[in-house]
Structure 1
Amino acid sequence: MLARHHDPIVAIATAPGRGAVGIVRVSGQDIGPVIAAVCGRPLAARQATYLPFRDAQGKVIDQGLAIHFPAPHSYTGEDVLELQAHGGPVVLQLLLARCLQAGAELNPATGRPCLPQLRVAQPGEFTERAFLNDKIDLAQAEAIADLIDASTETAARSAARSMSGEFSQAVNTLLEQLIHLRMLVEATLDFPEEDIDFLQKADAQGQLRRLQTTLAEVMRRATQGAILREGIKVVIAGQPNAGKSSLLNALAGAELAIVTPIAGTTRDKVSQLIQIEGVPLHVVDTAGLREALDEVEKIGVERAWAEIETADAVLFLHDLTRQAATGETPDAINYIADDARIAGVLGQKLPKNTPIIDVWSKSDMASAEVLERVSGGVLISAKTGTGLQALRQQLLQLVGWQAAPEGVFMARERHVRALQQVQAQLEKAAIQLQAALPALDLLAEDLRQAQLHLSEITGEFSSDDLLGEIFSRFCIGK
């Protein structure tokens, strides 16, 4: 544990701005001097006490509730003091300053500062202390941040399940099975006279298959949780006046983008977060793709392509009213040729695994002959709502959303990557076990590596750099 982890810390634990209630939180090994200085008397453990909070001259800063959580029965595992005051920024800053001042005051008995190391907490440091003091594991700590950042009800409920330990329990079950299998292999290495017969009698192959089956289910739920957490970036692309802004407005259920018959109305991206079955969708409307007529539109088209290249899925809109009903007109020929050109550029710029959905817009205005010629994609009308639900379902299907909401726990990309590495190591182990003369030392190493990758999820094995990266993304006071 780094030296800074022993310092007592203090921070405002509520969001910036005005509110009915604001909280200042203190955590450390011995915070009695701060309690005495601010509250004027000792506090009963885990009982809310209404009293005045006083400054160094004894004047009242505010009146509110003070709660003392003695170690180890607290959020951080250390002594914790929570001061619940009125939620004005000035009041909370005065309380914060008073706590820091109390730590610097001299102890009459020793002539030294009461808490010389008391300092303002860094982002996520309270939760980091909880992790380091074994109050929660790393996956639970991350779930706390995910719960705070959840953008849909489904995401919030999934984060709550992970925070309560459901994801960690699934990982620990895998660890138990893996350690048991490792024990069998290591025993065979220690007693080579038993050789492969020992593993066969213990059904090592059956144990490994069951472990892989359990892992596959955990991976499925974690992958769905990662989609819930990260959301899906969907970019609407197409020629000018294809109906992109109308589609954004229809999906969002609000007039977010300006819609006019004038080509080039949208000059810059317009983004909106919506949800489909609890899955967050970051929908981006972009400028029409064509040869720019002026410098402003040129910048808009460049930004459109930049958004398209980072999309999880692209909705390529085709205007049905610009398809010729009978014969071929110059306008229809040019429009179809420009669509083909855009499709070619999309194929070059996008990764191969990025889905492109052909969306045929303005179906309410198209002739029956044109509609009959459409094959593939989704027919929609942003005006009447026709086809929008089918489009939503296809989006979810293409990005891999399959799980029922209540069966998903929140997970992150690093969790999914770790599980994929475990899967790869177990596949290597299965190949070794199936060999006529297994290389037991290689088998043991494959299982050991699998255990290390699995333990990274809960933080049993983790680097300080990883911890710093994770907790730096938390808000101050949490």
Structure 2
Amino acid sequence: MQPPRPDPIVAIATAPGRGAVGIVRVSGHALGPLADALLGRLPAPRVAAYGPFRDADGSGIDHGLALHFPAPHSYTGEDVLELQAHGGPVVLQLLLARCLTAAAEVDAGTGAARLPRLRLARPGEFTERAFLNDKLDLAQAEAVMDLIDASTEAAARSASRSLAGEFSGAIHTLRDGLIHLRMLIEATLDFPEEEIDVLSTHDVRGQLSNLKQTLADVQARARQGALLREGIKVVIAGQPNAGKSSLLNALAGAELAIVTPIAGTTRDVVQQTIQIEGVPLHVLDTAGLRQSEDEVERIGIERAWAHIASADAVLLLHDLTRLQDPTYQVEDRHIAAEMAAQLPRSVPVLHVWNKHDAVPGALPAGDGIGLSAKTGDGLEALRQRLLALAGWQAGAEGGVFIARQRHLQALARANDHLAAAEAHLGPPAAALDLLAEELRLAQVALGEITGEFSADDLLGVIFSRFCIGK
């Protein structure tokens, strides 16, 4: 028995607000009666038909284009009807309401063929149906939203590659290699009387080594893609009047933060996302770190420390003009020590020496960077250091695909299982049953990326983050 078909769904598929064109999208089965009620006919497949969109009394709501994509040759794999009208919010709401009332009229028996109940689409439901109907795998479905949300050109191109199937193709290549290796091992377990030395005859160790190397390459490309998608959080911290706000303005190329000679001007966090070679960096300017009796400033300082604790990298800004001030130096060392105590070793703290233009040649020895936020001298060196801290590899954007943290975690689990499988090869003796199980678990981890092995609750979380109409 065929499972019941899902209800047809409808939504406005363009962004809120006014525009030249707005789209109302319907997806389901047997949409002919609905098209007849709205348009007077069902348009020919994949041919734009111009005409009026009719209200219940026969008057025109608007004139526009209608497109019909019969199943399975559509985005969702179902019959799809797209109505392209003028992009005013009132017009689109009228058209959306007409779709819902027209479906109700057909259901009530107006002489047309019965249309299943039409309802408003949930967020991400069109793409969810594309996934469920095998038009996209899960990694490609996520790439749809990543392409919409891309904040840089490099991220958009990377998401486009994932949507086209490059990431999924790499995962499928790994999966096929695992299946082939599992087949050899499990055949040996099933027919032990054959006494074939499968490990040497089929070079199992060599095949496993190749799979690990391929996986390492995919992991490296995915890490770069995750960096393009998510960026890193960089916190500028230091004592008052070190030039933190000036540095944020210089990096952003705009006057975002107020700059004055008065200590404690910055009371709250000012954030700006900048991009360096396509990598987004979320840079935060924080209140100057010091002891303060001012209640408002003290709250700002507490927030500064909270952001420092959650940073991916910290720029500890020093004032070169106060190098000879013992009190300033003591407080600087105290701040650096407190950061070292609070932050994990994986979070880098880069010492940045500002106001280099005022005291040229005064840069202390060490791994820090000297610059002038006022003149811009040294900013390019800082940008390149930030890229290095983020883990970005120059020129990598041409070969990466967009990835999420769940993808990286699944790849890491697959890598762990391959390492465990290699350990079961011996010496002293190979444990083929345990080897086969580790290969199976590695395959399951990879399948989570493309959706071959995915829990329903995971799918719900993923698609709920999409916009309505997509």
Structure 2 equivalent of residue 417 of structure 1:
409
Structure 2 equivalent of residue 329 of structure 1:
none
Q: Which amino acid aligns with 1:345?
A: E
- 1:72-151 → structure 2 map (5 Å cutoff): 72-107=72-107, 114-151=114-151
Whether the 8 Å CA contact 2:144–2:163 is kept in 1: the answer is: yes
What is the rounded CA distance, in whole Å, between the counterparts of 1:175 and 1:211 in structure 2?
Answer: 9
Structure 2 equivalent of residue 327 of structure 1:
none
Report the Cα offset of residue 396 of structure 1: 1.1
Report the Cα offset of residue 115 of structure 1: 3.2
Report the Cα offset of residue 374 of structure 1: 3.7
Q: Percent identity?
A: 68
Deviations 1:327-357 (A, max 9, x none): xxxxx11111111111121112222210100
Structure 1 equivalent of residue 327 of structure 2:
334
Matched, 1:360 2:374: no
What is the rounded CA distance, in whole Å, between the counterparts of 1:195 and 1:386 in structure 2?
Answer: 72
Matched, 1:283 2:276: no
Structure 1 equivalent of residue 186 of structure 2:
186
Structure 2 equivalent of residue 206 of structure 1:
206
Aligned pair count reads 467
* Aligned residue among 328, 333, 346 for 2:339: 346
What is the rounded CA distance, in whole Å, between the counterparts of 2:457 and 2:111 in structure 1?
Answer: 39
Q: Secondary structure at the match of 1:365?
A: coil
Structure 1 equivalent of residue 462 of structure 2:
470
| TM-score, length-scaled by structure 1 | 0.95
Whether the 8 Å CA contact 1:47–1:68 is kept in 2: the answer is: yes
What is the rounded CA distance, in whole Å, between the counterparts of 1:196 and 1:307 in structure 2?
Answer: 60
Deviations 1:99-140 (A, max 9, x none): 011111145769899434211000000000000000010000
Structure 1 equivalent of residue 28 of structure 2:
28
Matched, 1:429 2:421: yes
Deviations 1:415-458 (A, max 9, x none): 01000000000000001113232111111110000000001100
What is the rounded CA distance, in whole Å, between the counterparts of 2:433 and 2:360 in structure 1?
Answer: 71
Report the Cα offset of residue 5 of structure 1: 7.3
Which segment drifts farther, 168-177 or 395-404?
395-404
What is the rounded CA distance, in whole Å, between the counterparts of 1:42 and 1:142 in structure 2?
Answer: 32
| TM-score, length-scaled by structure 2 | 0.97
Q: Secondary structure at the match of 1:98?
A: helix
Structure 1 equivalent of residue 272 of structure 2:
272
Q: Secondary structure at the match of 2:147?
A: helix
Deviations 1:72-91 (A, max 9, x none): 00000000000000000000
Report the Cα offset of residue 302 of structure 1: 1.1
Which segment drifts farther, 181-190 or 347-356?
347-356
- Listed as ranges, the gaps of 5+ residues in structure 1 are 325-331
Q: Which amino acid aligns with 1:429?
A: A
Q: Secondary structure at the match of 2:435?
A: helix
Structure 2 equivalent of residue 10 of structure 1:
10
Structure 2 equivalent of residue 45 of structure 1:
45
What is the rounded CA distance, in whole Å, between the counterparts of 1:13 and 1:171 in structure 2?
Answer: 31
Q: Which amino acid aligns with 1:397?
A: A
Whether the 8 Å CA contact 1:103–1:113 is kept in 2: the answer is: no
Report the Cα offset of residue 367 of structure 1: 5.0
Deviations 1:399-427 (A, max 9, x none): 21115210111111110100000000000
Report the Cα offset of residue 389 of structure 1: 1.1
Matched, 1:377 2:377: no
Whether the 8 Å CA contact 1:8–1:118 is kept in 2: the answer is: yes
Matched, 1:298 2:291: no
Q: 1:429 to 1:65 in 2, by over 3 A?
A: same
Which segment drifts farther, 287-296 or 141-150?
287-296
Q: Secondary structure at the match of 2:52?
A: strand
* Aligned residue among 407, 416, 430 for 2:399: 407
Report the Cα offset of residue 194 of structure 1: 3.9
What is the rounded CA distance, in whole Å, between the counterparts of 1:5 and 1:181 in structure 2?
Answer: 39
Q: 1:295 to 1:444 in 2, by over 3 A?
A: same
Deviations 1:352-377 (A, max 9, x none): 21010000011001153x33x44321
Q: 1:195 to 1:243 in 2, by over 3 A?
A: farther
Q: 1:441 to 1:110 in 2, by over 3 A?
A: farther
Deviations 1:17-63 (A, max 9, x none): 11110000000022112111111112100000011001111111000
Q: 1:10 to 1:108 in 2, by over 3 A?
A: closer
Q: Which amino acid aligns with 1:26?
A: V
Q: Which amino acid aligns with 1:471?
A: F
Structure 1 equivalent of residue 440 of structure 2:
448
What is the rounded CA distance, in whole Å, between the counterparts of 1:195 and 1:276 in structure 2?
Answer: 59
What is the rounded CA distance, in whole Å, between the counterparts of 2:217 and 2:369 in structure 1?
Answer: 32
Q: Which amino acid aligns with 1:226?
A: A
Q: Which amino acid aligns with 1:97?
A: A
Q: 1:18 to 1:5 in 2, by over 3 A?
A: farther
Q: Secondary structure at the match of 1:364?
A: coil
Q: Which amino acid aligns with 2:426?
A: Q
RMSD value, Cα: 1.6
- Listed as ranges, the gaps of 5+ residues in structure 2 are none
What is the rounded CA distance, in whole Å, between the counterparts of 2:109 and 2:305 in structure 1?
Answer: 70
